[in-house]
Amino acid sequence: MSAIFRTRKLQGLFVLLSLLIGLAVLFRHHRSNDVSEEFPSRILVSIDDSINENNRNAERNTKSQALRKPIYLCGYNIGRIGNRLFQFASLYGIAYLKGMKYVIHTEDVINQIFLTHNDSNLLITDEVEAICNVTIYRRESLCCGFDSRVLNFNPRPGETYRVITYLQSWKYFENAKEQLKKQLVFKPKSIASAENVIAEVLKKFNVTSRRDVVLVAMHIRRGDMTMKNTYGHEVATPEYLYKAVDHFNNFLTVIYVVCSTDLTWIKANMPKIAERVYFNTPNAYPENDLALIASCDHVITTVGTFGWWGAWFSGGLVTYYKWPARDGTVLRKGFSEDFMDFFYPKWVGY
């Protein structure tokens, strides 16, 4: 009996041991599956795989960095304040449209006059020469009109473009008008100068409150445009001034503030229907005169870009001389057929 009992006991232990071994194998297999699920399905199994994976990661990083590279837009600075304002505004508008950064120098005349600042479409820097050294050029076909072909490009990250030259059309920057208003804020010294002149105007005509009058700025551009030339500039006539003044005489309490470098001519040709006129002595700093025009309620422009921008800053009613260029001349060919790429549609021409 004891021998039989021992045999059965050994058999039982063998079965139990077999079960334990089986359970251990199953548990190990289950753990192996769990661990494999914690790692990516693609496991590096060789040095070659590791090198290839590193190369793929480097390529992805390079592409990512390239996409983050800014696309720069440069211009060609030419002319005085009015011309520079058109270039600045148009290039800013193009940069805004194309998702680029317009680059200007810290010592640019625009920065000297206005409280410009870096934003998503403007970079003010000392490194203009380095940034704009290698560029893709695009040039306008009209100096004073809108050329849609200038905008016919799709910039890629890391590229630098240069668009030239005058870009004198509101159509280039109408899309970014609100952003430009934040950039083109006169510096305090120009605002103070304009306020001082307006105080003198009110004092001269015994006006106690600025709210009691309507100030209409008149910018009379003559100077170099009166010289004999074949380029094609025209100047406003006395007949135009009469129509412009008559246009604003509908206001009951209007004072005309005249800005011109040719006060002798305008004093001799100022329409008699203008009852109250203040002739402003030209400022040594033209930007102060521009701020004065901008501070008035409405503007009478004649020709040129300086008065144009004074009118734009003012934001009021504006009249303009309809024929700024002589037919058949180089200048006339630079405008659109009806001049309306240059003049705002809401402005009134005589």
Say what the pTM is: 0.81
In tens, the pLDDT along 156-214 reads 999 999 999 999 999 999 999 999 999 999 999 999 999 999 999 999 999 999 999 99
In tens, the pLDDT along 212-221 reads 999 999 999 9
- Does position 57 have pLDDT exceeding 60, yes or no? no
Q: What are phi and psi of 40, to 5 degrees?
A: -55, 150
- Does position 24 have pLDDT exceeding 90, yes or no? no
H or E, element range at 164: strand 160-164
- Does position 39 have pLDDT exceeding 60, yes or no? no
Mean pLDDT of 36-45: 37
pLDDT at residue 13 in the model: 55
End-to-end CA distance of the chain: 135
Q: What are phi and psi of 106, to 5 degrees?
A: -60, -25
pLDDT at residue 217 in the model: 99
In tens, the pLDDT along 110-124 reads 999 999 999 999 999
Give the span between the Cα atoms of 330 and 166, in whole angstroms.
14
Mean pLDDT of 231-259: 96
Higher pLDDT, 108 or 31: 108
Would you place residue 225 in the very low, low, confident or very high pLDDT band (cuts 50, 70, 90)?
Answer: confident
Where do the domains of the chain lie, and which CATH numbers do they carry?
Answer: 72-183 (no CATH), 188-349 (3.40.50)
Mean pLDDT of 25-30: 48
pLDDT at residue 21 in the model: 59
**Closest alpha carbon to 288 in 175, 163, 193:** 193
Which stretches of 178-308 are assigned E, i.e. beta strand?
214-220, 254-260, 277-280, 298-300
Would you place residue 76 in the very low, low, confident or very high pLDDT band (cuts 50, 70, 90)?
Answer: very high
Sign, CA dihedral 185-189-195-201, equals negative
pLDDT at residue 37 in the model: 38
In tens, the pLDDT along 311-324 reads 999 999 999 999 99
pLDDT at residue 81 in the model: 98
pLDDT at residue 17 in the model: 59
**Closest alpha carbon to 302 in 193, 223, 231, 230:** 223
- Does position 45 have pLDDT exceeding 50, yes or no? no
Least confident piece of the model among 23-27, 32-36, 90-94, 108-112: 32-36
Least confident piece of the model among 54-63, 107-116, 280-289, 303-312: 54-63
**Closest alpha carbon to 172 in 66, 94, 258:** 94
- Percent of the chain surpassing pLDDT 70: 80
**Closest alpha carbon to 313 in 235, 219, 221, 212:** 219
